[in-house]
Structure 1
């Protein structure tokens, strides 16, 4: 297999890919945050301070929402360098992304996991998202070839 395409991901597309890659870590972080805030609210109710307890309960609802909003905004700014014309080459031994400013090449053996979503192939090393391949960059035949290739690899895909 040797597929080469030229593609320019939109800023929102990059943010969606990174957020989707971080979904498991964000869910754990938000679960801990909400648990701590709810536990604090229970303690404050028991100590007779309902005003602060209610404030913590409100924060337990608004915290994850505000965190998601802040993360999207931050990612959009920090990852703007990825929203440029990019040449993506997918080969039997790995893949390569080239822009006017950088070249990234990785072998398939590096990846511990590949997550397939309707929009992306998310590539992980030790549960950390390290790259994504946007399906929109490839036509239907190329997508089918890549999906078949990834399914046949030793890299677990889910």
Structure 2
């Protein structure tokens, strides 16, 4: 397999990459925030029903506020990443082989060996490639030709990182 494609100097592209990588890292804040807000709201309702409002209300109100702030943290970080990274728009490209993923962006280049990849997750626009437990890079599907995307998808499915195209082999993406 040898797939090569270019990434145009689109000011919105670095922001979409940053948002995709940050959404993976920050998802837990939304879950924790939802639990805190729900527990605080339940605590407020129960404390008012039993007349414990004076003692419990400040704690429950704090839980609701912290929960809401925690849920808003991820969108705020993604918005900031998109806003800051829009200045980094340079031409680049990908060169993907059976051995590694080579990426270049302007005068910088780097790569990831497939041997170090532990999982791949699919989003609407990208394949997010993990090394260990951390997302290391993204592969933009919409910038590839349809044939190259299917070739790469089959390669990743053969390594059990993605479900098989036909849906018959391999576990679902982790």
* Alignment TM-score, normalising by the size of structure 1: 0.76
Confirm or deny: 8 A CA contact 1:11 1:76 kept in the other structure.
no
Residue 2 (1) aligns with residue 7 (2): no
Match of residue 102 from structure 1: 108
C-alpha distance in structure 2 between counterparts of 1:112 and 1:82, whole Å: 28
| Counterpart for residue 67 of structure 2 | 60
Decide whether the 8 Å contact of 1:114 with 1:124 is kept in 2.
yes
Cα pair distance change 1:128/1:82, threshold 3 Å: farther
SS at match of 1:112: strand
User: Where in structure 2 are the equivalents of 1:17-56 lying within 5 Å?
Assistant: 17-23=17-23, 25-40=25-40, 42=43, 45=47, 46-48=52-54, 50=57, 53-54=60-61, 56=63
The aligned counterpart of 2:133 is: 127
Contact kept, 8 Å, 1:86 with 1:98, in 2: the verdict is yes
Question: Residues 40 and 60 of structure 2 are in contact (CA less than 8 Å); yes or no, is this contact kept in structure 1?
Answer: yes
Residue 87 of structure 1 deviates from its aligned partner by: 1.5
Distance between the aligned counterparts of 1:100 and 1:12, measured in 2?
16
Question: Counterparts of 2:107 and 2:87 in 1: how far apart (Å)?
Answer: 9
Local SS of the residue matching 1:156: coil
Shift of 1:115: 1.2
Unaligned runs of 5+ in 2: 163-172
Give me the whole-angstrom Cα distance separating, in 1, the residues matched to 2:124 and 2:154. 15
TM-superposed CA distance for 1:74, in Å, is 2.1
Number of aligned residue pairs: give it. 156
**Aligned twin of 1:148:** 154
- What is the CA RMSD across the aligned residues, in angstroms? 3.1
Gaps of 5+ in 1: none
Q: CA deviation at 1:3?
A: 1.4
Counterpart in 2 of 1:87? 93
